[in-house]
């Protein structure tokens, strides 16, 4: 990237599970928390030529989610999000475009939450208790 373009931007895709205690997602949440830390470390190592940021993605209505979530479960999840809706792919794409663009030229090492303001997991997974 530096050799061909002189610099650039890396946009990592993380998850709200990296910051919230979501039962059943220990491995996934831990991996995404590690990605958030990697984002900070690489930002320090690669600056000033390459910026490294992450998007912390909230509950998004994707084809994969639609295959396992009923409309009722999606309505329940939306009710737990301050913006009262599940996110769309365009919400994440807009943030990625910003982070990759010159508009974010003085932003590095940040993990930006794109989650409709959710401070709790919109969905809970049935996990057996010990």
Task: Return the active site residues.
Answer: 28
CA distance 78 to 62: 14
Count Cα neighbours of 52 within 13 Å in the Cβ-side half-sphere: 17
Tokens of 28: 């996934």
3-state secondary structure of 52: strand
Sheet bearing 111-114, strands edge to edge: 8-15, 50-57, 111-114
Count Cα neighbours of 34 within 13 Å in the Cβ-side half-sphere: 6
């Amino acid at each position: 990237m530096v050799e061909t373009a002189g610099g650039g931007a890396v946009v990592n895709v993380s998850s709200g599970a990296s910051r919230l205690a979501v039962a059943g997602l220990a491995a996934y949440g831990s991996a995404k928390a590690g990605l958030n830390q990697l984002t900070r470390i690489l930002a320090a190592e690669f600056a000033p030529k390459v910026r490294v940021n992450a998007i912390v993605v909230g509950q998004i209505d994707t084809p994969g989610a639609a295959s396992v979530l009923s409309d009722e479960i999606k309505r329940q999840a939306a009710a737990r999000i301050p913006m009262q809706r599940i996110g769309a792919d365009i919400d994440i794409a807009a943030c990625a475009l910003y982070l990759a663009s010159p508009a974010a030229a003085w932003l590095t090492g940040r993990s930006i939450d794109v989650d409709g303001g959710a401070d709790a997991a919109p969905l809970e997974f049935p996990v057996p208790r010990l």
